Amino acid sequence: MSRIETDKLAALARYFGYTSFRPMQEDVIDNVLAGRDTLVIMPTGGGKSLCYQLPAVLLEGLTIVVSPLISLMKDQVDSLTESGVSATVLNSSISSSQSSQRIADLFRGRYDLLYLAPERLLMEGFMEIVRKLPVGLIAIDEAHCISEWGHDFRPEYRQLREVRRMFPGVPVIALTATATDQVQRDIVNQLDLTDGKVFKASFVRENLYYEVRQKQETYEQIRRYLRSRAGESGIIYCGSRKGAESLTTRLQRDGFKAESYHAGLPAKERDARQEAFIRDDTQIIVATIAFGMGIDKPNVRYVIHYDLPKNLEGYYQETGRAGRDGLRSECILFYSYGDRMKIEYFIGDKHPRHQAAARRQLQQVMAFAESTVCRHRLLAEYFDERYERPNCGMCDNCTNPTNQIDATVQAQKFLSAVRRTGERFGATYVIDVLLGSENAKVLMNRHSNLPVFGIGKDRPRREWIQLSRQLLAMGYMVQGDYNVLKLTRKSLDILLNGEKVFMKVMKKERSRAAVEPAGAVDEDLFLRLRRLRKRLADEHDVPPYVIFSDASLREMAGHRPTSTEAFRQISGVGDRKLEMYGELFIQEIVAHEEGAGR
């Protein structure tokens, strides 16, 4: 084993408490240590931060980390400091005297990492200061912000190519959790990474359970669900500020520790509510999409979408805030066709050149919600990744596939009605024909004379509406201007070739028992260790997960280490954390064991 490999593994254990790397991490780190440019596309929770934090303690010089949000920078610096890594941040949250002191310390070589917002880095006077620092690596986090094709474009990120000119010989590592091929190409071009290496991990988050529920009695469903997740952290996304406020008020009245979060709140109030959530003082955040990008909280156990998201990339990013510690977490989407109509209305307000793309994105979300196919496969294929597993075991379509009925005959009837009415009408009109409605429009068009008139009377209107949506989602029809339905070539397989169609019958909710994770964890001890962690976190003025993650606590509650040597083997326990907290947690474990009579 070479010296650099020995140093690499030693630093991994010493500072971060791990004995091995996650998939792809080591290859990325080796590329960075070799001084080569790197683009990392790795899902949230995959361990992107380590890809530049570990090289930062091994390379000569300072690692500059460009990050878009103050809260994210603070959390990263807190976590690194607790792990014994020297890191600091310069942003608007610190005073001018603190800033001067930290800059002086940077020139003294006191820090391995410096976190900056792009706006701060690119300030003319500050760039002159940075130019004089011995920079060894530049890391650009949330790199998708540089692309106009990304879901969170930020114009100031476009100027980061100036940093390449400032440090022409310094390697750059760009990192993002979500990037389609188009966004990936844009990142490479904008940052001039054409000679760099691209590392693209699987987009499949195997610890996340995906489920779509029908939007009926939605609040009661959510209330019951939250009761079953008492004490756990979660995010509920709403489509509007008003919706977030209203849902928060109802939850608070029912005794839940919930707060709303949206762009209409004063900045100080938003920061306070986010901080309370990060520190486990608030269990539930009810938010618009304004919340989440700067959240590094690993123990979010569920993400609920109360309203339909506008695109799959944003949905993937939002659900990716669950289970960052690798433990099982749940993602529930409440779906109704009415949500689609709301989004369609807002799309109409967009510039005409953006409307087609917005409608295409909405159709992709509809297809995801109404599909009977594995949801992990659908998300993977959206990001151009093949997913070969026949059953993921972690979505409602795979764990409970019985909610499907053979709808071949109904599909044939519906598609025939679309064809015989000339492919000139929307679903409502076609269903009127199928149900034999003698309204003025049907009679005027003489469609009451068609052989399909009235052949759908054996089914209620709501079933025909649901079938029309799923035929759209499965690609048997497309929707044009004014919601006019057009058949695709694929529809001929049903009309002429006898292809079977299975319609999904959406459930209100499921039984959790069949999919609960198994494990030999002492839950009472786990809760006891969480209380100790919370007390220590408050004393040190850091979020609880900075002390130890839920994954580490569950490992402690499973193995119950009662010696320093055994405690050191717990994942996430590095030298500094062993020294600072080891004895306290061991004492808590011993006290629990004695109290339980073991």
**Segment 468-525, tens digit of pLDDT:** 888 887 778 888 777 799 999 889 889 888 788 877 665 545 544 333 343 468 889 9
Mean pLDDT in residue range 121-143: 89
| Residue with more model confidence, 542 or 474 | 542
CATH for 404-504, among 3.40.50.410, 3.40.220.10, 1.10.10.10, 1.20.1250.20? Answer: 1.10.10.10
Question: What φ, ψ does residue 210 adopt, rounded to 5°?
Answer: -100, 135
Question: What φ, ψ does residue 224 adopt, rounded to 5°?
Answer: -65, -40
pLDDT at 283: 96
Q: What is the pLDDT of residues 324-338, one digit of tens each?
A: 888 999 999 998 877
Superfamily of domain 3-200: P-loop containing nucleotide triphosphate hydrolases (3.40.50.300)
Mean pLDDT in residue range 527-554: 93
Question: What φ, ψ does residue 36 adopt, rounded to 5°?
Answer: -100, 150
Please name the amino acid found at residue 553. Answer: L
Domain boundaries, the chain: 3-200, 208-399, 404-504, 523-595
Question: What φ, ψ does residue 49 adopt, rounded to 5°?
Answer: -60, -35
- Cβ of 108: how many Cβ atoms within 10 Å? 8
Q: What is the pLDDT of residues 240-284, one digit of tens each?
A: 999 999 999 999 999 999 999 998 999 889 989 998 999 999 999
- Cβ of 518: how many Cβ atoms within 10 Å? 5
The answer to whether 51 and 126 are in contact (CB under 8 A) is no
pLDDT at 152: 67
Q: What is the pLDDT of residues 282-294, one digit of tens each?
A: 999 999 987 866 6
Question: What φ, ψ does residue 121 adopt, rounded to 5°?
Answer: -60, -35
pLDDT at 3: 46
pLDDT at 195: 84
Mean pLDDT in residue range 545-554: 93
The answer to whether 221 and 213 are in contact (CB under 8 A) is yes
CA–CA distance, 160 with 179 (Å, rounded to integer): 18
- pLDDT-based confidence at 149, cuts 50/70/90? low
- The torsion angle over the Cα atoms of residues 52, 53, 58 and 61, rounded to 10 degrees, is 80
Query: 18: Cβ–Cβ under 8 A, 6 or more apart, which residues?
Result: 12, 571, 572
CA–CA distance, 180 with 184 (Å, rounded to integer): 6
Q: What is the pLDDT of residues 72-87, one digit of tens each?
A: 788 889 999 999 999 9
- pLDDT-based confidence at 126, cuts 50/70/90? confident
Alpha-helical segments (H) within 154-200: 161-166, 181-190
> What residues are paired with 198 via a beta bridge?
39
Query: 493: Cβ–Cβ under 8 A, 6 or more apart, which residues?
Result: 499
Helix, strand, coil % in the chain, rounded to nearest 5: 50, 15, 40
Report whether pLDDT(49) > 70.
yes
DSSP 14: I
Question: Tokens at residue 113, please?
Answer: 């990492």
pLDDT at 485: 92
CA distance from start to end of the chain = 43
Q: What percent of the chain has a predicted confidence (pLDDT) above 70?
A: 94
Q: What percent of the chain has a predicted confidence (pLDDT) above 90?
A: 53
The answer to whether 232 and 300 are in contact (CB under 8 A) is no
Mean pLDDT in residue range 529-543: 94
Domain 208-399 has CATH 3.40.50.300: yes
CA–CA distance, 118 with 158 (Å, rounded to integer): 10
Please name the amino acid found at residue 438. Answer: E
Report whether pLDDT(455) > 90.
yes
Domains 3-200 and 404-504 share a fold: no
- pLDDT-based confidence at 151, cuts 50/70/90? low
Report whether pLDDT(227) > 70.
yes
Mean pLDDT in residue range 147-166: 77
Q: 519's torsion region: left (phi>0), alpha (psi -120 to 50) or beta?
A: left
- pLDDT-based confidence at 432, cuts 50/70/90? very high
Q: Tell me the pLDDT of the chain averaged across its residues.
A: 87
pLDDT at 5: 52
pLDDT at 150: 58
CA–CA distance, 236 with 238 (Å, rounded to integer): 7
pLDDT at 393: 93
Report whether pLDDT(354) > 80.
no
- pLDDT-based confidence at 573, cuts 50/70/90? very high
Q: What is the pLDDT of residues 378-425, one digit of tens each?
A: 999 888 888 888 899 999 989 886 567 888 999 999 999 999 999 999
The answer to whether 296 and 306 are in contact (CB under 8 A) is no
| Residue with more model confidence, 12 or 348 | 12
CA–CA distance, 258 with 225 (Å, rounded to integer): 14
In terms of Cα–Cα distance, which of 597, 595, 594, 517 is closest to 554? 517
- The arrangement of secondary structure in 523-595, i.e. its CATH architecture, is Orthogonal Bundle (1.10)
